[in-house]
Amino acid sequence: MVAGSLEYSWAKQPSADNNVNVSTDMTLTSFDNLKGLFDFILILAYSVGECRTGGWVCLLYISIILATKGLNWPDISASIPNNIDELKARKDMSKGVDWYYLRKGWTTCTKASKFLEANNISIKETALASRKLQSADCQTLMDKANKLIALKGKKIAEFDLKSESSTEALAAMLGPTGNMRAPTLQLGKTLIVGFNEEVFTSQFS
């Protein structure tokens, strides 16, 4: 990638009407960081929807750049993803939670909520633990899922709900009082009980 300034000029021939020589010099001061410009254009096209519209947006944007000669544009590369892979990761991180069961003020639930908020993860439906859910409710959730990830402290237990007995999985979803543990999240065919930042990151990316 070539950095610096892009210069071009042309001379207009004498006019047939007034025989006046018109000389035009145009200098286009480019971005200090041309890579940032082209990264932005590429990501802009991807964000529009990876469709034909993105190409038109690119052409429009380039036309605006060429029309605004002599402007010193700020380096925007630091505020946008470095590449398409990073953009996809951010996009995937926002795929959303179908159902979120939490207890307000509970430390683990607070950590889970902060993670979801910090990563712009949408929540379709929220249920508060003030409504006591028990083993029958847990079984209903497991019947719709393929996998359960139960987190407790540093312990991580995974259950294949389609091939393993649900007895241990059911026990992992219940707290000492016999009620459903909070937080419990449903992500498509996956259930997550408890919170672990590394597990959350892997499941949402």
**Beta-strand relationship, 126-128 and 184-187:** unpaired
The pLDDT of residue 180? 98
- pLDDT for 106 beyond 50: yes
| 175-194 residue pLDDT tens | 999 999 999 999 999 999 99
Taking a C-beta distance cutoff of 8 angstroms, is the pair 29, 72 a contact?
yes
CATH number corresponding to 99-204 = 3.40.30
Residue type present at position 10 = W
pLDDT in tens, 33-44: 555 666 666 665
Closest C-alpha to 48, from 35, 34, 59, 37: 59
Contact (CB, 8 A) for 153 and 143: no
Q: What is the rounded average pLDDT of the residues 132-140?
A: 96
- Distance, in Å, from the CA atom of 151 to the CA atom of 154, rounded to the nearest integer, reads 7
pLDDT digits (tens, 9 = 90+) for 19-65: 444 444 444 444 445 556 666 666 655 555 555 555 666 666 666 66
Give the helix/strand (H/E) hosting 55.
helix 52-67
**Residue-range domain boundaries for the chain:** 6-92, 99-204
- What value does the mean pLDDT take over residues 153-160? 94
